[in-house]
Amino acid sequence: MTEAPTPPDQRTAVVTGAARGIGAAIAARLAADGHRVAVLDLREEDTAATVEAINNSGGKAVGVGADVSDADAVAAAVGRIAAELGPPTILVNNAGILRDNLLFKMTDTDWDAVMGVHLRGAFLMSRAVQAHQVQAQWGRIVNLSSTSALGNRGQANYAAAKAGLQGFTKTLAIELGRYNVTVNAIAPGFIETDMTRATAERVGVPYPDFVAHAVAEIPVGRAGAPADIAAAASFFVREDASFVSGQVLYVAGGPKD
């Protein structure tokens, strides 16, 4: 029996921080779109549920453990992904952490940890993956920014990192465009995940009240779900989105600026 030809839009995608939350939804969506997906998170064992869900639905996924802020770990992970799934040409920089505090209480460690995962992580992953994209003369990078990039009390580190990712996105779009690589950012508003649950806990507000408070400010009248962000990522990754680059898309149930 001859093997079925590979559809032209079947690529290898890497989604960081994909063990849960928004990353898991993006990984599932890209797999449903026909791509092979590397589900990358800090610990490989934590990726099992995401990987299993994809493989059980007829997709192809492998779990990879790596700290995106560690250059050696990133190089090893991207090398392994290329060997196991084929050269990665789609990258979603989604891994993220919060270390919220008002400026006068924010420690050096809080600052460095957030910069390390969001900014250094996106830099290291993008640098490693672009080698494969340039080789393939095709690629997609999607970075997860946030409405916090516009300023948010208690998040000087996170807001700076998420605003930084917007400048990073636009610069990579300029540098990599000639290789048919598009680079865009999604800036989610309030999305129900462990991250928003942790914030509610930190500020001491019961989660349902915390959600209701957020929803009161959202024009479409509901909280966001990880699938809302996955739909935006799916669009940026599409073959026919090749003229959309260097953009920041606020996915927040209403306008943001």
The verdict on 228 binding ligand NAP (CB under 6 A) reads no
> Residue 112 CB, nearest distance to ligand NAP (Å)?
12
Residues 102-141 vs ligand NAP: string with x where CB under 6 A? ---------------x---x--------------------
Give the burial string for 94-132 (b: 16+ CB within 10 Å, else e).
bbbbbbbbeeeebeeebbebbbbbbbbbbbbbbebbbeb
**188 is a site residue for ligand NAP (CB under 6 A):** yes
Structure tokens at 196: 């928003």
Is 154 a binder of ligand NAP (CB under 6 A)?
Answer: no
Question: How many Cβ atoms are within 10 Å of 236's Cβ, its own excluded?
Answer: 22
Could you tell me the smallest distance in angstroms from the CB atom of residue 31 to ligand NAP?
Answer: 17
Binding flag, residue 160, ligand NAP (CB under 6 A): no
Distance of closest approach, residue 235 Cβ to ligand NAP, in angstroms: 17
The residues facing 186 across adjacent strands are: 144, 249
By CB under 6 A, the count of residues binding ligand NAP is 28
Stretch that binds ligand NAP, among 174-182, 186-194, 200-208, 240-248 (CB under 6 A): 186-194
Which of 132, 94, 101, 151 is closest to 12 using CA atoms?
132
Choice between 20 and 80, CB closer to ligand NAP = 20
Q: Does 191 bind ligand NAP (CB under 6 A)?
A: yes
Among 62, 97, 183, 237, binds ligand NAP (CB under 6 A): 97
Instruction: Tell me: does residue 94 bind ligand NAP (CB under 6 A).
Output: yes
CA–CA distances in Å: residue 208 to residues 204, 213, 215, 235 = 12, 9, 10, 31
Cα atoms in the Cβ-side hemisphere of radius 13 Å centred on 109: 0
Q: For ligand NAP, which is the closer residue by CB, 138 or 164? A: 164
Instruction: Identify residues 43-72 at the interface with ligand NAP (CB under 6 A).
Output: 46, 67-69
Structure tokens given for 70: 């560690």
23 binds ligand NAP (CB under 6 A): yes
**249 DSSP assignment:** E
16 binds ligand NAP (CB under 6 A): yes
Residues noted as catalytic: 158
Q: How far is the CB of 89 from ligand NAP (least distance, A)?
A: 20
The stretch among 2-10, 88-96, 104-112, 132-140 that binds ligand NAP (CB under 6 A) is 88-96
- For residues 217 and 189, what is the distance between their CA atoms, to the nearest angstrom? 11
Evaluated on CA atoms 187, 190, 195, 198, the torsion sign reads positive
Q: Which helix (H) or strand (E) holds 2?
A: none
Q: Residue 56 to residues 85, 88, 169: CA-CA distances in angstroms?
A: 17, 22, 34
Binding site for ligand NAP (CB under 6 A): 16-17, 19-23, 41-42, 46, 67-69, 94-97, 117, 121, 144, 146, 188, 190-191, 193-196
